[in-house]
Amino acid sequence: MLGGTAEARALAAGLLERGVFVVSSLAGRVANPKLPAGEVRIGGFGGPDGLAAWLTGHDVAAVVDATHPFAERIGASAAAATRTAGVPLLRLQRPGWRQGPGDDWHWVDSLDEAATLVEGLGERVFLTSGRQGLSAFARCTRQWFLARCVDPPAPPLPPKIEILLDRGPYHVAGESALIRDHRIDVLVTKDSGGTMTTAKLVAARECGIPVVVVRRPRRPDTPTVEDVPSALEWVSAMLGA
Q: Is the pLDDT of residue 168 over 90?
A: no
Average pLDDT over residues 163-171: 94
Using DSSP, state whether 198 is helix, strand or coil.
coil
- As beta bridge partners, residue 113 has none
Q: Cβ-count burial of 236 within 10 angstroms (0-12 exposed, 13-18 middle, 19+ buried)?
A: middle
Interval 57-69: pLDDT, tens: 999 999 999 999 9
Which tens digit of pLDDT belongs to each residue from 33-45? 889 999 999 999 9
Whole-Å CA distances, 189 to 3, 13, 29, 129, 176: 21, 29, 19, 5, 16
Whether 241 and 143 have beta carbons less than 8 Å apart is answered as: no
Amino acid occupying residue 54: W
Over the chain, what is the mean pLDDT?
Answer: 95
Residue 241 reports pLDDT greater than 70: no
Q: Cα(91)–Cα(102) distance, rounded to whole angstroms?
A: 32
Cis peptide upstream of residue 95 (ω within 30 degrees of 0): no
Q: For Cα atoms 45, 165, 132, give the angle at the middle one, nearest 5 degrees.
A: 40
Burial 64-88 (b: 16+ CB within 10 A, else e): bbbbbbbbeebbbbbbbbbeebebb
Residue 205 clears pLDDT 70, i.e. is over it: yes
In the chain, domain spans: 6-95+218-239, 105-214
**Residue 238 carries which DSSP code?**
H
Fold classification of 105-214 (topology level): Rossmann fold (3.40.50)
The torsion of the CA quartet 9, 10, 12, 16, rounded to 10 degrees, works out to: 140
Beta strands in the chain (DSSP E): 23-26, 39-42, 63-65, 89-92, 105-108, 124-127, 144-149, 161-165, 186-190, 211-214, 224-225
